[in-house]
C-alpha cells in the first residue's frame, strides 16, 4: 500500500501541500497509447458506458503520467440522455444533437433526470475507479455547466459564438430560464450522486460561457452556477472551469467555487491578483506549449511556478484539454518539473 497522496486535496482546501499538485484535463485521451489500446474502435460513449474499461483508462493515465489526481472517465453530454436528448459524439467534431432544442414546448417536454437510472454506469465506473486507484490519488468527478450544455442542445453542434443559444436567451427569456433551471437541477443531482459514490472533488465545465459579456453572464447564467456551488458546499472541493473568459474572473469568484481553472490568455500572476486570495487557481499552461515541448515549454512551466510561489491553492494544469498530438513524455516532464520545483524543504 502506497502512502496516500493528499497534495491535490490539500491545495484545494487552502493547506500547504508537500508539492504543488498536477493533473491535466483530458489526461485519459487519444494522445496516450494505453488509451488507444483499450478504446480500439469503440466510440467514446461506449467506453464511458463500460465501468471496467472506463476505470482502466483513468488508472492507466494516472500511472503513465505520475499525476496527483484522476478524473472520472465520462463526457459532459451523457446525463442529457436522461432528459431525452438524443446525440452522438462525432470523432474530431464533438457532440451533435439530433433534434436541437429551440422552442419553449421542447424545453417543457424535457424528461426528469434520475442519476441511478440514467447514468448508473458512470456511478459504477466511479466505484470501480476508486477501487483500482487504491487510494493512491484522489478522483475528480465532473459535470458540464448549464450554459455549456444548453449551448450544445440549442446549437445542435459545436459552435464558436453560440449565436442561436444567445438568440434564445434574448428572444425567449422565459424558455431560457426554464431550460437553465432544469439543467441546474440535473447538474446538482448528478454531482451529488457522484459525491455519494465517492469522488473527492468536482469540476464544473462551463467551457464556452466566455462568449457572454459580464452583464449577460450575471443576467442569464451566474445565479444557476451559484446554486450548483451552494448545493455542494461543505461536501467536496468545487472547481470552476472556463476558457477564454478573463473578463469574467470576478464573477466566477462570486459563484462560491473553491478554485478557478483559468486558461493561458490571462497571466496567472494577474489572475492571483484579481482573485485576492478568495479562491485557489488551477492552471494555466497553454496546451500547445505542452504539445511543443522543449525549452519553450520549460520556460512556460517555470514562469507559472514563479508567479504562483508562496500562494496557497495552486493546482498546476493546462489552460484547456491535452491536445491529440501531445507526446506523453512532455506531460511527464511537466509533472517532474512541478514536483521538483515546489517540493517543501524539510
Ligand atoms: O481525462 C479526461 O479528461 C477524460 C474525461 C472527459 C471526456 N470529456 C472524454 C472525452 C472529460 C472531462 C470530458 C469533458 C468534455 N466533453 C467537455 C468539457 C471540457 C472541455 O474540453 O472544455 C466538453 C466540451 C466535451 C464535449 C466533447 N466530447 C468534445 C468537444 C469532444 C472532442 C471531439 C473530438 O473528437 O475531438 C468530445 C469527445 C471526447 N470526450 C474525447 C474524450 C477523451 C475525445 C474522443 C476520444 O478520445 O475518443
pLDDT digits 0-9 by tens, 206-233: 999 999 999 999 999 999 999 999 999 9
Within 10 angstroms of residue 114's Cβ, the number of other Cβ atoms is 14
Ligand 1 pocket: which of 76, 91, 199, 284 to mutate (most atoms within 8 A of CB): 76
Specify whether the backbone of 283 is left (phi greater than 0), alpha (psi in -120 to 50) or beta: left
> Considering only CA atoms, which residue is closest to atom 37 of ligand 1?
94
And the C-alpha cell for 211? 462568449
CA distances, 342 to each of 69, 208, 238 (Å): 17, 32, 23
| DSSP-derived secondary structure for 50-95 | -HHHHHHHHHHHHHHHT-S-EE----TTGGGGGGT--EEEETTTEE
3-state secondary structure of 203: strand
Which pLDDT score is estimated for 109? 98
pLDDT of res. 345 = 63
Residue 2 is predicted with a pLDDT of: 59
pLDDT > 90 in the chain, percent: 97
Average pLDDT over residues 282-286: 98
User: In a 10 Å sphere around its CB, with 0-12 CB exposed, 13-18 middle and 19+ buried, how is residue 275 labelled?
Assistant: buried
Q: What digits encode the pLDDT tens for the residues 287-299?
A: 999 999 999 999 9
State how far the Cα of 199 lies from the Cα of 191, in Å rounded to an integer: 9
Give the residues surrounding ligand 1 with Cβ less than 6 Å away.
25-30, 44, 71, 73, 75-76, 89, 91-92, 94-95, 142, 205, 207, 321
Indicate the average pLDDT of the chain: 97
Give the confidence band of 316 by pLDDT, cuts at 50, 70, 90. Answer: very high
Q: What is the pLDDT of residues 30-73, one digit of tens each?
A: 999 999 999 999 999 999 999 999 999 999 999 999 999 999 99
Indicate the DSSP class of residue 187.
Answer: H
Q: How far is the CA of 15 from the centre of ligand 1 (A)?
A: 31
Ligand 1 atom showing the smallest separation from residue 75 Cα: 8
Q: What pLDDT sits at residue 346?
A: 47
User: pLDDT-based confidence at 319, cuts 50/70/90?
Assistant: very high
Please name every residue paired with 95 in a beta bridge, in sequence order, or none if there are none. 89
- Check residue 213 and give its pLDDT: 98
pLDDT band with cut points at 50, 70 and 90 for residue 310: confident
- Mean predicted confidence (pLDDT) in 123-128: 98
Confidence at residue 4, expressed as pLDDT on a 0 to 100 scale? 86
Amino acid at each position: 500500500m502506497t502512502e496516500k497522496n493528499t497534495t491535490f486535496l490539500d491545495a484545494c482546501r487552502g493547506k500547504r501541500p508537500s508539492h504543488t499538485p498536477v493533473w491535466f484535463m483530458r489526461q485519459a485521451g487519444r494522445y496516450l497509447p494505453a488509451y488507444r489500446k483499450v478504446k480500439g474502435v469503440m466510440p467514446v460513449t461506449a467506453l464511458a458506458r463500460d465501468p471496467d474499461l472506463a476505470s482502466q483508462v483513468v488508472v492507466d493515465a494516472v500511472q503513465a503520467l505520475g499525476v496527483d489526481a484522476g478524473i472520472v472517465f465520462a463526457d459532459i453530454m451523457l446525463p442529457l440522455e436522461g432528459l431525452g436528448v438524443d446525440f452522438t459524439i462525432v470523432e474530431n467534431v464533438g457532440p451533435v444533437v439530433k433534434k436541437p432544442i429551440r422552442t419553449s414546448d421542447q424545453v417543457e417536454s424535457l424528461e426528469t433526470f434520475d442519476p441511478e437510472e440514467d447514468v448508473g454506469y458512470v456511478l459504477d465506473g466511479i466505484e470501480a475507479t476508486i477501487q483500482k486507484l487504491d487510494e493512491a490519488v484522489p478522483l475528480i468527478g465532473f459535470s458540464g455547466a448549464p450554459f455549456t450544455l444548453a449551448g450544445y442542445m440549442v446549437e445542435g453542434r459545436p459552435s464558436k459564438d453560440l449565436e442561436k443559444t444567445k438568440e434564445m436567451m434574448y428572444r425567449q427569456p422565459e424558455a431560457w430560464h426554464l431550460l437553465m433551471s432544469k439543467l441546474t437541477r440535473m447538474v446538482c443531482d448528478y454531482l451529488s450522486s457522484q459525491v455519494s459514490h465517492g469522488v473527492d472533488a468536482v469540476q464544473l465545465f462551463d467551457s464556452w460561457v466566455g462568449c457572454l459579456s459580464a452583464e449577460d453572464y450575471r443576467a442569464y447564467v451566474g445565479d444557476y452556477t451559484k446554486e450548483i456551488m451552494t448545493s455542494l458546499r461543505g461536501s467536496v472541493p468545487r472547481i470552476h472551469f472556463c476558457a477564454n473568459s478573463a473578463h469574467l474572473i470576478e464573477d466566477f469568484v462570486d459563484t462560491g467555487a473553491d478554485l478557478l481553472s483559468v486558461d493561458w490568455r490571462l497571466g496567472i500572476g494577474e489572475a492571483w491578483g484579481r482573485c485576492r486570495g478568495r479562491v485557489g487557481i488551477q492552471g494555466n499552461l497553454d496546451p500547445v506549449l505542452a504539445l511543443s515541448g522543449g525549452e519553450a515549454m520549460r520556460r512556460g512551466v517555470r514562469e507559472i511556478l514563479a508567479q504562483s510561489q508562496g500562494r496557497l491553492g495552486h493546482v498546476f494544469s493546462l489552460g484547456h484539454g491535452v491536445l491529440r498530438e501531445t507526446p506523453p513524455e512532455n506531460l511527464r516532464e511537466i509533472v517532474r518539473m512541478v514536483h521538483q520545483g515546489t517540493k517543501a524543504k524539510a
